[in-house]
Chain A
Amino acid sequence: MFDWIYSIPMPRFAALTCGFFVAFSWIGTVLVRPVLRTFVKHRENVNDLVGYVLSCFGVFYGLLLGLLAVAAYQNYRDVESVVSSEASSLAALATDISAYPEPERKNLVWLLRDYTRDLIKIAWPNQRRGIVSLEGEYTMDAFHERLLRFEPVTAGQEIMHAETLKQFNHYIEKRQLRTLAVSTSIPKVMWSVVLIGAMMNITLVWLFDMRLTSHMFLGGILACFLGLMIFLIATMDNPFRGEFSISADPFQGILARLMEE
C-alpha cells in the first residue's frame, strides 16, 4: 500500500513523516481544539485528568511502538544474517568447484560468475523494488544441471562431487530464505493500529488547557517524535527496500574472486 515510500530519499521521508504528524497536530490544535475542549470545559484539574489518560495511553502505545521497532530491527538483522550466510555458502561452493577437472571446472565457474554478477546487477536492484528476479533461478538451474552431468572417475572426485552437491543444496536453502524475505513486512492491520494510535495520541494532547504557543510547541514535539518512530519502523520494515537496506556487498568479493578464476 505504501510501497512508494521506498522511492523517496531517506532524509525527505523522515521530514515528510515528521512534517505530516506535526502538521496534523498543529492544524488540530488551531481548528479542533476549541471544539474538543467544550467536553472538558468548566472542570477543575482538567490538565491532570488529560495527563493521566495520556500517560496511560502512552504506556500501551509506547510499548507497541517499542516492540515493533525492536521486531523490525531484529528482522533486519536476521535477514542481514541470512544474506551473510548465503554469501558464505556461495563462497564455499566457488571453492568446491575449483577442484573439478577441466573443462567442467571452467563451465561451472562461468555459471557461478554469471549468477553472482546477475545477483548484484539485476537481482539486488529488483529486490529494492520488491521484485524477485527469475534470472538467478535459471542460472542456478543450469549450474545444477551441469553438476549432475559430471561423472566422477576417481574416488576422490566422487567425494568432492558429493560434497559440492551438498553445498549446492545448502546454498539453495539460503537463497530461498533470502527471496522469501523480500516480501516479508509488518502486516497491514498492525500498521493501521500504529497510525490510528498516533492520531489518538495527538488528539488527547488537544484536550490540554494551556496557551496556544505552548500547546503547539509541546504537541509539535510529541508529533515529531511519533513521526520519527514511525519513520524508523517503516524504514526497517522491508530489509531490502529503500536507501536503508541490506546491500549486495558480501557478494562483491566472491564475484571478484570468480572473475580471477
Chain B
Amino acid sequence: MRMSLDRKQSFSSKSWSRCIASLAGCAILGLLCALSGCGEIPSSSSSDVVEQFLGKKEEPSPIQVGILFSQTGSMSISEMPLKHAVIQAIDEINAKGGVLGRPLIPVIRDGRTREDIFAKRARELVDGGASVIFGAWRSVDRKAMIPYVENSETLLFYPLQYEGNESSRSVFYGGMTPNQQILPALEWFMSPEGGSRSRVFLIGSDYVFPRTANYIVKEFLKNKSMQVVGESYVPFEHKDFESHLRAIRESKADLILSTINGTSNIAFFHQFAQLGMNSQATPILATSLGEAGLRSILASETTGHFAAWSFFQSLQQDRARGFVRRFHEEYGIDRPVHDPMESAYTQVYLWREAVERAGSVSADAVRQVLEKTIEVEGPGGLVRIDPRNHHVYKRLRIGRIRPDQQFDVVYESPDWIRPEPYPDFAFPGWDCDWTRGGLQKGPVVKIEE
C-alpha cells in the first residue's frame, strides 16, 4: 500500500515536471515568435502561417519584356537611349502596380549592330518566354528578327521611322513611314516657306531603308517641281565623304536628303563644313539623326541643318516636357531625348493598354485588341494605331538645328498623317489591311541594291 502510494507520488512528480517543461517550452517559443513579429500573423491555413512567418509574400509571376537594341557597334550611339526609354516606361508601369497586377521584368540583350546577332538574340528572347520584344533601329535588324517572332507567341514593337513596304501580323510599327516623314518634308522644302528648293541629292547608308526610301522619293518626285540630281550610298561606319560631297557640289543640289545612319554622320557633317559648304545654300535634311546623334558632332557643323521627326526634345507641350523632365531626373539633365525614344516609350504604354484590355499577355489576345482602334496619350500627343496595317498615325514636324543642338520647329503638319506602308505611286496594287484579309500583293517592285 505504501509502495503504491510512493509510486503514485513519484508519477505525480514526473507529470508535474513535464507540465512545467511544456509550459517553459511554450513560453520560449512564444518569446521567439514575439521577437520575430510572429504575433501579427492572422489565423489562416498552416502553410499561410509558415509563409507569413518566413516573411515570404505570394508575388504575382512577372512578365518578361525583351529589350533588344545595339549597345555596341556603330549604332549604339543612337540605339542605347531607346533602351533607356523602354526601361523608363517599364519602371513607371511597375511603380503603378505593373500590368494585370504583374510586374514587368526587362530582359536586355545587345544586338551589336549585326543582323545575325539580332536574329540570334530574338530567338533567345522568344525561347526564353518574353511576351513582347521592343527592339531594333535598322531595317535589316528588324527583318532578321521577324521570322522568329512570326513563329512564336511574342510580338515585336519596332519604334523607328522606316521605309514601309512591309507588313507582318506580329510586328507593330511605332515610327513614321515615308508618306508621314520624308515626302511631306520634301513638299515643305518645295514650298516658298521651305525655300522653293528644286534640286535634291540623295545620300544614305547602304542598306534597305535608304534604298527603299529613296526609291519612293524618286517615284514621288516624278511629277513635282523638285528633281533628284544625284544619289549615292556608303557602307556603315564610312568615314571618307570627300568624293560624295564634291559630287553633291558639282550637282548644284540645293537640298541634301540624308538617310545616313550611325557614326558616319560625324564624318559627313565634319567634312561638309570643312569643304566650305553651308546650310544656307545646301541644307541637309536628315531623316535618321536626332538630338542624341547630334551630341557626337560639333555644334558648329550642324547648326542650320534640318531633321524631320514627329517629336523633338524642345517641344513645349506639358506631356513632352514631363517626359523629358522624368528622363533627365533618371539619366542626367544633359541627356538628349529624341523621337525614336518617344516612340519606344509610347509603344510600351500601347502594349500595356492592349494587355490590360485583353486581360492576357497572349500574342493573339493582344493583337486582337491592337487591331481595333486603340489610342494612348504619348509625350508627343495622342497616338493611334491604324488597325489595317499595325502602324501609327503621326504628326510631322520639321526642325532646324540650333547652336545648342536642339531644334526649332519650323513646320508642323496640320493634322495626324495616316500611315501608308505601300504608297500607290511606288507600289501599285499593294496594300495591307489585317482587318480584311491581310496583305494584298501587286506586281513585284524591284528596288536597286
Q: Which of B33-41, B192-200, B364-372 contacts A (4 or more CB under 8 A)?
A: B33-41
Chain B contact patch, size range = 35 or more
Known: A12-B53, A113-B331, A113-B332. A212 touches B110 (CB 8 A): no
A138 near B71 with CB under 8 A, answer yes
B24 near A141 with CB under 8 A, answer no
Q: CB < 8 Å: which of B71, B80, B297 contacts A103?
A: B297
A16 near B53 with CB under 8 A, answer yes
At the interface, yes or no: B14 with Cβ under 8 Å from chain A? yes
A216 to B296 alpha-carbon distance, docked (Å):
75
Q: Which of B15-23, B157-165, B432-440 contacts A (4 or more CB under 8 A)?
A: B15-23
Which has the most chain A C-beta neighbours within 10 Å: B14, B54, B331? B54
B108 near A138 with CB under 8 A, answer yes
A52 to B78 alpha-carbon distance, docked (Å):
75
Q: What distance in Å separates the Cβ of B31 from its nearest Cβ neighbour in chain A?
A: 9
A142 near B20 with CB under 8 A, answer no
B295 near A9 with CB under 8 A, answer no
Known: A12-B36, A12-B55. A212 touches B332 (CB 8 A): no
A213 near B20 with CB under 8 A, answer yes
A16 to B73 alpha-carbon distance, docked (Å):
51
A23 to B33 alpha-carbon distance, docked (Å):
13
A9 to B331 alpha-carbon distance, docked (Å):
32
B18 near A212 with CB under 8 A, answer yes
At the interface, yes or no: B244 with Cβ under 8 Å from chain A? no
Provide the residues of chain B in CB contact with A145, threshold 8 Å. 72-73, 76
B331 near A117 with CB under 8 A, answer yes
A22 to B20 alpha-carbon distance, docked (Å):
16
Known: A15-B33, A103-B295. A142 touches B76 (CB 8 A): yes
At the interface, yes or no: A43 with Cβ under 8 Å from chain B? no
At the interface, yes or no: A28 with Cβ under 8 Å from chain B? no
Known: A139-B71, A212-B14, A216-B25. A11 touches B332 (CB 8 A): no
Provide the residues of chain B in CB contact with A258, threshold 8 Å. 332
At the interface, yes or no: B334 with Cβ under 8 Å from chain A? yes
Provide the residues of chain B in CB contact with A15, threshold 8 Å. 32-33, 35-36, 38
Can you name the residue of chain B whose Cβ is closest to the Cβ of A216?
A: B21
A114 near B331 with CB under 8 A, answer yes
A15 to B32 alpha-carbon distance, docked (Å):
6
A113 to B331 alpha-carbon distance, docked (Å):
8
Provide the residues of chain A in CB contact with B71, threshold 8 Å. 138-139, 141-142
A141 near B110 with CB under 8 A, answer yes
A14 to B31 alpha-carbon distance, docked (Å):
13
B66-92, CB < 8 A from A: 71-73, 76-77, 80, 84
Q: What distance in Å separates the Cβ of A101 from its nearest Cβ neighbour in chain B?
A: 11
A212 to B77 alpha-carbon distance, docked (Å):
75
B56 near A8 with CB under 8 A, answer yes
At the interface, yes or no: B275 with Cβ under 8 Å from chain A? no
A106 near B56 with CB under 8 A, answer no
A107 near B296 with CB under 8 A, answer yes
A197 to B43 alpha-carbon distance, docked (Å):
36
At the interface, yes or no: B238 with Cβ under 8 Å from chain A? no
At the interface, yes or no: B382 with Cβ under 8 Å from chain A? no
Provide the residues of chain A in CB contact with B54, threshold 8 Å. 4, 7-8, 12, 16
At the interface, yes or no: A18 with Cβ under 8 Å from chain B? yes
At the interface, yes or no: B335 with Cβ under 8 Å from chain A? yes
Provide the residues of chain A in CB contact with B18, threshold 8 Å. 30, 212
Q: What distance in Å separates the Cβ of B187 from its nearest Cβ neighbour in chain A?
A: 33
B108 near A134 with CB under 8 A, answer yes
Q: CB < 8 Å: which of B17, B29, B37, B296 contacts A213?
A: B17
At the interface, yes or no: A239 with Cβ under 8 Å from chain B? no
Known: A9-B55, A15-B35, A110-B335. A135 touches B72 (CB 8 A): no
Q: What distance in Å separates the Cβ of A134 from its nearest Cβ neighbour in chain B?
A: 7
B21 near A213 with CB under 8 A, answer yes
Q: CB < 8 Å: which of A19, A107, A216 contacts B24?
A: A216
Provide the residues of chain B in CB contact with A188, threshold 8 Å. none
At the interface, yes or no: A220 with Cβ under 8 Å from chain B? yes
Can you name the residue of chain A whose Cβ is closest to the Cβ of B332?
A: A259
At the interface, yes or no: A60 with Cβ under 8 Å from chain B? no
At the interface, yes or no: A76 with Cβ under 8 Å from chain B? no
At the interface, yes or no: B28 with Cβ under 8 Å from chain A? yes
Provide the residues of chain B in CB contact with A7, threshold 8 Å. 54-56
Known: A8-B55, A141-B71, A141-B72. A22 touches B28 (CB 8 A): yes
At the interface, yes or no: B298 with Cβ under 8 Å from chain A? yes
Provide the residues of chain B in CB contact with A42, threshold 8 Å. none
A152 to B32 alpha-carbon distance, docked (Å):
66
A143 to B29 alpha-carbon distance, docked (Å):
55
Provide the residues of chain A in CB contact with B14, threshold 8 Å. 212
Provide the residues of chain B in CB contact with A216, threshold 8 Å. 21, 24-25
Can you name the residue of chain A whose Cβ is closest to the Cβ of B52?
A: A12
A213 to B330 alpha-carbon distance, docked (Å):
61
Q: What distance in Å separates the Cβ of A150 from its nearest Cβ neighbour in chain B?
A: 12
A216 to B21 alpha-carbon distance, docked (Å):
7
A213 to B53 alpha-carbon distance, docked (Å):
28
Q: CB < 8 Å: which of A11, A19, A110 contacts B29?
A: A19
A11 near B35 with CB under 8 A, answer yes
Provide the residues of chain B in CB contact with A139, threshold 8 Å. 71
Q: CB < 8 Å: which of B24, B109, B298 contacts A217?
A: B24
Q: Render B263-304 as a binary contact track against A, CB cut-off 8 A, 1 for contact.
A: 000000000000000000000000000000001111000000
Can you name the residue of chain A whose Cβ is closest to the Cβ of B334?
A: A106
Can you name the residue of chain A whose Cβ is closest to the Cβ of B70?
A: A142
8 smallest CB-CB distances across A and B, nearest first, come from: A15-B36, A9-B55, A138-B71, A138-B110, A212-B17, A12-B36, A216-B21, A15-B32
Contacts A110-B331, A212-B17, A213-B20 known; 12 new A-B pairs at CB < 8 A: A7-B56, A11-B36, A12-B54, A15-B32, A16-B53, A106-B334, A110-B334, A139-B71, A141-B71, A141-B110, A216-B21, A216-B25
Task: List residues of chain B with CB under 8 Å of any chain A CB.
Answer: 14, 17-18, 20-21, 24-25, 28-29, 32-33, 35-38, 53-56, 71-73, 76-77, 80, 84, 108-110, 295-298, 330-332, 334-335
| A–B Cβ pairs within 8 angstroms, 28 of them | A7-B55, A8-B55, A8-B56, A9-B37, A9-B55, A11-B35, A12-B36, A12-B38, A12-B55, A15-B33, A16-B54, A22-B28, A22-B32, A103-B295, A107-B296, A110-B334, A113-B331, A113-B332, A114-B331, A135-B108, A138-B71, A138-B108, A141-B71, A142-B71, A145-B73, A213-B24, A220-B28, A258-B332
